Structure 1
Amino acid sequence: MPDRIEKVSAFVIEIPRDVPYLGPLREGEFVNRAGYIVRKGNRTLYPTKDRSVVLRIDTEKGLTGWGETYGIVAPEAVRAIVDDVLAPVLEGRDPAAPAVIHEDLYDLMRVRGFFGGFYGDALAAVDIALWDLLGKSLGVPVSTLLGGRRHDRIPAYVSGLPRATLAERVDFARDWQARGFNGFKFAAVVADEGAEAEIAALREGLGPRARIMADLHWKYTAPEAIRLIRRLEPHGLAFAEAPCAPEDIEGTTLVARSVGVPVALGEELRTVFEWLPRLERRAFGIGQPEMGRTGITEFARIGALCHAYNVEVMPHATIGVGIFMAASLQAASAQQKLPCHEYQHSIFDPNLRLTRPTGARHMACEAGFYVLPDGPGLGVEPSDELFTHAVA
């Protein structure tokens, strides 16, 4: 007899942090009454705490699957979608067909225009939990379900240098280099002396062999981005991430055709329908799917699409408790062209205590490489401590 979904539960998780994401507040930035700051560099809202939405699916036969989605802004919106829209539809369904269920849930709201945003985020959490359930029921990792694991270790690059001054950021990067990491990405929106000064100082401090990337955070028009990237190229820029507004496909395409380094993008794109027009225009050379927004089904489809266009996949990593990070490692390990995976050190390491392995080995990131968990499903599940951070 098939199993059935009995209950779907969503939890908002909130974790204090000492330094806000992207580093200390700059002049003119302040914490508003809801606990958010607007970064002047890109006019974007960020929380002062790490927040996420964790999803639990329980079946009639006693299995539990775990998912997680991006929840740093208005996480209650995602929880409301799960409780009011998705849970009643999921209850009673056989959980053994994650991709089929994903398509059915996507169709529920298509005619209302909800093919992205918070609805897409909620679908990602459900999808991850369903794949976790399927792996557990069969006793295999998610990577096996996706066709097999190509990589037991995945190269990692250090993302973000959250220090107040340029000299401190260079020293911070050198500390990570001493630990065995060779890739470093800086955020141009908090490069107070300018992106060119930032990369010049990092290149001098890290030496000629280090890979240095720049996240431009969708800040520039196409001509502005082209001029800036061309100034960064002589310093050995590895790639330029998110140069233009995400809706400016033609502008991003122009940048990609006008500079000598790859353009990277994708963290804000949730479905293959958003990826395809950008791939058709050759708007980027490096794809950065974010598991917390895509879920496993769309991540795998995006990876296959990138492979067909000969585009490398370097998955994005954002604020989370570790559930969708494990899912990203599982799905990424099945990709053929996988030069590296983003490593958010200020999130991954301190939050590792919030998950525990379902097998003998936990996930880790050491000496420049991610090590994957070896248990069934995602390979990790929430620890008891995680729910001490749940918001009622």
Structure 2
Amino acid sequence: MSERVARVEVFSLTVPRDTPYLGALRPGETVNEKGYLVRRGNRTVYPTVDRSVLVRVESTSGAVGWGETYGIVAPGATMAIVDDLLGPFVVGRDPHDVAVIHDDLYDLMRVRGYTGGFYLDALAAVDIALWDLAGRLCGLPVVKLLGGQRHHAVPAYVSGLPKPTLAERQAMAVEWQGRGFHRFKFAAPVADDGVVAEIAALREALGPDAGIACDMHWAHTAEQAIALIHAMEPHGLWFAEAPVRPEDVDGLARVADRVSTTVAAGEEWRTVFDLLPRVARRACGIVQPEMGHTGITEFMRMGQYATAHHLRIMPHATIGAGIFMAASLQASAALAAVECHEYQHSVFEPNRRLLDGDMDCRDGAYSLPTGAGLGVAPSGEALSLLQPFR
């Protein structure tokens, strides 16, 4: 009898942080009774902890694969989808049929409008776990199952400078530059003196050759974004990320057409179908798939479509225990058009202890974890923190 999926389990993983993601609270920002805060600069909710949803898939022979997705808000919603709906339809399937299983699960709810949000986040975690399991059963790293390894190291850029003052953010950037990193991205919602002052100060500190990008966090109209990008361009803006609201495809295309700087977008997209209308409008020059939302199957489809249309790929960094970070690196290494990968140092570094494996980021580049499957697995400490779905 051929190998089959015997069991699918889902867990939440919560890890305390010293300061919330993006840094200390700004004036007017408060934490509610659920531990959430809303950043005034982008009107988006964040938890005060690191939290993700993990999926464990076990085969009939006892082999195990792990997946991970976002659980930063309402993790119970994602967990319920895995436990009640997706998991039971995976049990009994051949774990080598990963893309087929992905499409079957996608089809279950597509006509009901569930083409995004919690449903596809849950599907992403299951998909990653199945790719990990397939690699382990074959004794190969996932990148080899995706067509072969094109990159042995993936260049990284430092994302976020979570310090309370501009002077401290300058100093933090210089410190990372001293560690061999020469590309950076700052977050507009916590650029307290404005994005122009932020990039001017960083350029002064980092010199003329450093790449400096701005994450605009979907906070502007097209005309506002165009004006801000024009104001930053004299300081050597590397790229402008998420300048308008995600649903404003026309606005994104207008920005891309009116500025010299390359526009980047895509971290909130779930499938290649989100990419199609943006590519048709030439609305961005850099595509940023986020493994925690896409899973490996859709990440690769998005990457291949972007490559065929001569776009650059700079994957968004995954925020979690690191399992879907490893998945992102495995997929990135298989795509020719991947130019750089985001490095969320404020999450990656403190959470190293949550993984077994040799995934690393130093001297300006990621090294892929070695070994079969994703090359990583939850550490003993991470396993002790897992909370099953109830």
Are 1:316 and 2:313 an aligned pair? no
2:116 maps to which residue? Answer: 116
Are 1:56 and 2:52 an aligned pair? no
Quote the Cα distance in structure 2 between the aligned partners of 1:155 and 1:199.
22
User: SS in structure 2 opposite 1:337?
Assistant: coil
Match of 1:366 among 350, 362, 369: 362
Match of 2:386 among 378, 387, 390: 390
TM-superposition CA deviations, 1:250-284 (whole Å, max 9, x none): 00000000000110010000001111111111010
2:346 maps to which residue? Answer: 346
Quote the Cα distance in structure 1 between the aligned partners of 2:106 and 2:210.
42
Are 1:204 and 2:204 an aligned pair? yes
Quote the Cα distance in structure 1 between the aligned partners of 2:369 and 2:71.
24
TM-superposition CA deviations, 1:329-386 (whole Å, max 9, x none): 00000111222100000111111111112xxxx1100111101111011011111110
TM-score by length of 1: 0.98
2:26 maps to which residue? Answer: 26
User: SS in structure 2 opposite 1:327?
Assistant: helix
Are 1:84 and 2:84 an aligned pair? yes
User: How far is 1:105 from its partner?
Assistant: 0.1
User: SS in structure 2 opposite 1:109?
Assistant: helix
Quote the Cα distance in structure 2 between the aligned partners of 1:74 and 1:318.
18
In the TM superposition, 1:322-337 aligns within 5 A as: 322-337=322-337
User: How far is 1:113 from its partner?
Assistant: 1.0
Judge which range, 191-200 or 105-114, deviates more: 105-114
User: SS in structure 2 opposite 1:214?
Assistant: strand
Quote the Cα distance in structure 2 between the aligned partners of 1:275 and 1:21.
27
Asked if the contact 2:5–2:91 (Cα under 8 Å) also holds between the matched residues in 1, the reply is: yes
For 1:342, the aligned partner's letter is: E
Quote the Cα distance in structure 2 between the aligned partners of 1:218 and 1:225.
9
In the TM superposition, 1:10-159 aligns within 5 A as: 10-159=10-159
TM-score by length of 2: 0.98
Asked if the contact 2:52–2:72 (Cα under 8 Å) also holds between the matched residues in 1, the reply is: yes
TM-superposition CA deviations, 1:191-213 (whole Å, max 9, x none): 00000000000000000010000
Runs of 5+ in structure 2 lacking a partner? none
Quote the Cα distance in structure 2 between the aligned partners of 1:281 and 1:232.
24
TM-superposition CA deviations, 1:57-100 (whole Å, max 9, x none): 01111110110001111111110001110111111111111000
User: How far is 1:128 from its partner?
Assistant: 0.4
1:189 maps to which residue? Answer: 189
Are 1:380 and 2:376 an aligned pair? yes
For 1:104, the aligned partner's letter is: D
1:257 maps to which residue? Answer: 257
Quote the Cα distance in structure 2 between the aligned partners of 1:98 and 1:20.
36
Quote the Cα distance in structure 2 between the aligned partners of 1:286 and 1:174.
26
TM-superposition CA deviations, 1:282-307 (whole Å, max 9, x none): 01000000000000000000000000
Quote the Cα distance in structure 2 between the aligned partners of 1:47 and 1:319.
12
Between Structure 1 and Structure 2, how many residues are aligned?
Answer: 388
1:276 maps to which residue? Answer: 276
Quote the Cα distance in structure 2 between the aligned partners of 1:275 and 1:341.
19
User: SS in structure 2 opposite 1:350?
Assistant: coil
User: SS in structure 1 opposite 2:9?
Assistant: strand
For 1:253, the aligned partner's letter is: A
Same amino acid, percent of matched pairs: 62
2:221 maps to which residue? Answer: 221
User: How far is 1:33 from its partner?
Assistant: 0.4
RMSD in angstroms over aligned alpha carbons? 0.7
Quote the Cα distance in structure 1 between the aligned partners of 2:110 and 2:277.
19
User: How far is 1:389 from its partner?
Assistant: 2.2
Quote the Cα distance in structure 2 between the aligned partners of 1:158 and 1:9.
34
2:240 maps to which residue? Answer: 240
User: SS in structure 2 opposite 1:42?
Assistant: coil
Runs of 5+ in structure 1 lacking a partner? none
Quote the Cα distance in structure 2 between the aligned partners of 1:308 and 1:152.
22
User: SS in structure 1 opposite 2:305?
Assistant: helix
Quote the Cα distance in structure 2 between the aligned partners of 1:169 and 1:37.
22
Quote the Cα distance in structure 2 between the aligned partners of 1:252 and 1:153.
31
